[in-house]
Structure formats: structure tokens, C-alpha cells
Amino acid sequence: MSAPSARTGYVAVLRRDLLLAWRRRGEAALPVLYALIVATLFPFALGPEGALLSRIAAGVVLVTVLLAMLLSLDGLFRPDWEDGSLEQLLLAPQPLGLLLAAKILAHWLTTALPLLLASPLLAAMLHLPTAVLPVLMAALVLATPLMSLLGALVVALTVGTRRSGMLLALMLLPLMVPVVIFAAGAVSAAQQGLPFIAPLAWLGAALVLALVLAPAACAAALRIALDA
Amino acid sequence: MNAHSSPTLWNRLVLWYHQMGSPPYFYAFAGRWRPWFIAATLITAVIGLYGGLLLAPADYQQGDAYRIIFIHVPCAWMSLFTYAFMAGCGLVGLVWRVKLAEILAMESAPIGAAFTFVTLVTGSLWGKPMWGAWWTWDARLTSELVLLFLYLGVIGLYHAFEDTRQGARAAAFLALIGVVNLPIVHYSVVWWNTLHQGTTVRLFGPSRITWSMLWPLLTMALSTHLYLGWSLLGRARVALLELEGGKDWARAIALEDAPHG
């Protein structure tokens, strides 16, 4: 019997992860709730002054969404590692990078997409000017897949370890600095009425690069961390 | 390789490389060289500091306050050099699975983190009188801070694993990702208008610094490199003994050092 094609494997992994997420759909709401609560804390900490809030709104939404995604990253490989299905993926005849790409896509669909849908609400709560909202959404659409890809790369290295959320943040933060700079740069340029295409183009270029390289690097990281 | 123009030198290098990979050989080698390294470190540090703090003229603009440069700049160079060394050793360890390369990579991480920390502290001590602020979100400062986070991430990941060698390989991979990331971070933060002065000492073309200030700086740079050698050899010796605790050669050393009777 010949092995199923790479496409079949990709679809199967994607379908399985989405089904698992659907069966536990209450969990998908948790990152959104987290982002909502963090965004609510800012007016308490800084005061409810509208002008100040609207100036920092885009940055707060951006960082809040990234932090919410960071918290969900530990669940990307750990359940599969604990029940042994991750090792089955490692043994599969299909290229591991492709199967991991399916897992990363499923993670983005179940974690980042709800956050993306909620972020106009967060932006409105913080008085972000309506004209800037499309730029913020464009920046988030480009930044969240980058976060998923880079996060998967880093979290793959920690699979074999004890639970270590702080460590994950420490490892991922340096990687996210350029993403935050370009995304925030686009929004603040739009807020000042300046051209904002260049930082978005940089984000897009980084995303294309990460789409090609990150799944393969993620596969290498997983093999190193699990000594397989 | 027989057709090589100087086969004896090449053969010697290969022999040396393979001998170095052997833990007992490296242990003895490191033990022999450490006193020389620390002696050379201290001598060059005394000469460099004497030249820098007493002989070099005061800066026409910054007065005597600039003299912290003789600590700050060598440490900043070393923070990058140590990272490159760590990543290089990590690559050798990942590709050829050389135990000693993994150990050298992991043991150089805390030293590099210390150099980065000293750079940040001396930089902020220097920044207070010159810029009027302990810290600014300038490109170089921010990149150096991110470098510190990278070091801490590597150290943290290394210690998160139960198995030392597995941890070393995972952390070496993270160090390699950092090599790709550092230039990206640097150039993305360069966007912000920077307060930090530009490059003064240049490898190519004339340096924009007078010789009486340059030679103590270079002497201090040499001293910090020697310090890295001394510290790294010591740390690697301890790590080797820990890793190879069950082997005969490590046991022989332990019995040798134990009090008789």
C-alpha cells in the first residue's frame, strides 16, 4: 500500500485540529476574553481621558492581541505530545513541515481569527479614530500569522520541557520586536496622515518569508527538542 | 587531501580538532592554559586601564566622563563576539553532534549575558551625564537589550530540559534563530531617530579617534577576549566533569583530588 499524498495528510491534520477545536469551542473564547480584560485595564491605569486613549489605542490593541496569542501557544503541541499523536506526525511519510503548517493554520484559525473579529470592539472601547481602523486591521491580518508561525517555531523547542510559560515569553519577545515595530509604525503613520504602505509591505514580505521558512524550521526544532 | 600544498599543517589541524573533541584531553588542556589566560587578562587590563584612565587626554567635549568608554565599548564588542562564538559552537554541535561544542556554546551564554549587562549598565551610567537620561529608546540600546533577552532565552531553555545534551541542542537552535533575528531587530529599530553616536572605530578607513585614546581601547578589547577565554575554559571544565561524571577519566580525577585515608 502506497502512502497517502502530502495533500491528503495536510487536509487530514487540518481537519482533525479544527474538529478538536470545535469540540472544545469554549476554549476558543478564552483568548478573546483575556484580550478584552487586558484592554479594559488600560483606562483604569491611565485614566479615561479620550485624547490619551485614542493616541495609544492601536498599540494597546496590537500588544493585547499578541499577548493573548502568546498564552494560547502552549496548547499548540503539548496536548499532542502528551497523547502521543505528535510522534505519529514525526513518523508520518508526508513531509513534517507541511503537516506542521496545517497545525499552524488551524491554530491561527481558532485563536487569531476570533481575536481579529474582536479587535474592532477593543479599538472602539479605546476611542481609536474610525479612519485608522482599516490600517490597524490590515496590520493585524499580517502580524497575527507571523506571530503564529514564529510562535510555533519557538514553542516547538519547548515541547520536551516542563511547563514554562514565562520561558516562552522570554524566547518569543525578541522575535516579535520587529513585527510590533512595523505594525505600530503603519498605524501611527496613518494616524498622522502619512503614507503607511511601506511598513505594511515590510510586514507582508516578512510574512511571505516566514510562510516558506518557518514550517521547515519548526520541523527541525521539533526533531531537536524531541530527539527524534 | 594529499594534494594539498601543506599536508602536514592540515593534518595537524585535523588532529588538533579531534583531540579537542575528546573530553579528557580538553580538560587537561584547559587546566594548563587557564593560568596563562588570567595572567594575560590582568596584565593587559592594567596596561589598558592605565593608558585609558591616566595617560589618555580628556575629551574636549565630554571631559573625563568619556573614560567609561574603556569599559563600555570592549564589553559591547564582546557581547556580540560571544554571541557569534556561541552560535558558531552551537552550529558545530548541531551538525556534527560534538559534545564539547555544545558545552562551549552553553557555557559562553552566561558570560555573554554578563558582558551585555555590563554594556547596558555602563551605557546608562554614561548616558546620565551626557544625555541627561539613564535610558532612551534608541536603536543601539534597544538592540542590546534584545540581545540580553536572547541570551536569557538561550540560558532559560537550556536549563528547562532534564537532559543536558538535549537542552544544549534546543538552546543552540534558538541561538541560531537569534543570529537571523538580530540584524532584523537592529535595522527595524534604526528607524527611530537615534541619539547614540555613530561608529567611531572602523576596521576599514581611518578611525575617528586619536591614537592615544585608541590604543588603550584596543588593549582593553584584547583583555576582555582573554577574560572570555579564561572564564570559558573554567566553566567548560566544570560542565565536562558534571556531564562525564560516570566515566573513568572523571572518576580518576575525583579520586586524585579526594583526601587520602
- CB atoms under 10 Å from CB of A1, counted, come to 3
Contacts of B160 in chain A (CB under 8 A): 158, 161-162, 164, 167
Interface check for B169 against chain A (CB to CB < 8 A): the answer is yes
Q: Report the pLDDT value the prediction gives residue B202, as an integer from 0 to 100.
A: 55
Residues in CB range of B188: below 8 A, 6 or more apart: A177, A178, A181, A182
Contacts of B149 in chain A (CB under 8 A): 170, 173-174
- Strand pairing partners for B63? B59
Whether the predicted pLDDT of A135 surpasses 80: yes
Nearest CA in chain B to A159: B161
For testing contact with chain B, the best of A77, A155, A157, A168 (most B CBs within 10 A): A157
Interface check for B168 against chain A (CB to CB < 8 A): the answer is no
**Out of A162, A181, A225, whose CB is closest to B191?**
A181
Nearest CA in chain A to B97: A224
Q: Where are the domains of chain B?
A: 34-247
Q: What percent of chain A has pLDDT over 90?
A: 46
C-alpha of A25 from chain center: 18
- Strand pairing partners for B102? none
Q: Report the pLDDT value the prediction gives residue A1, as an integer from 0 to 100.
A: 58
Cell of A191: 494616524
Residue A126 · residue A178 · CB < 8 Å: no
CB contact under 8 A, B150 and A224: no
The count of residues in chain B is: 261
Q: Report the pLDDT value the prediction gives residue B20, as an integer from 0 to 100.
A: 82
Q: Report the pLDDT value the prediction gives residue B193, as an integer from 0 to 100.
A: 46
- The Cα A183–Cα A199 span in angstroms is 7
**Out of A185, A224, A225, whose CB is closest to B191?**
A185
CB contact under 8 A, B161 and A161: yes
Question: Which pTM was predicted?
Answer: 0.88
* A97-109 pLDDT tens trace: 999 999 999 999 9
> How far A204 CA sits from the closest chain B CA (Å)?
15
Interface check for B149 against chain A (CB to CB < 8 A): the answer is yes
Q: What percent of chain A has pLDDT over 70?
A: 98
- The Cα B74–Cα B79 span in angstroms is 9
Q: Average the pLDDT over A176-196 and give the result.
A: 88
B203 CB burial (10 A radius; 0-12, 13-18, 19+): exposed
CB contact under 8 A, A158 and B184: no
Phi first, then psi, for residue A87 (nearest 5°) are -65, -30
Interface check for B148 against chain A (CB to CB < 8 A): the answer is no
Tell me the C-alpha to C-alpha distance, in Å, between residue B199 and each of B150, B180, B205, B206.
23, 22, 12, 12
For chain B (261 residues), the mean pLDDT of every run of 10, in chain order, is 64 85 88 93 93 82 81 92 94 90 94 95 87 79 89 93 89 92 76 54 61 87 94 93 86 75 44
Q: Report the pLDDT value the prediction gives residue B52, as an integer from 0 to 100.
A: 87
Interface check for B40 against chain A (CB to CB < 8 A): the answer is no
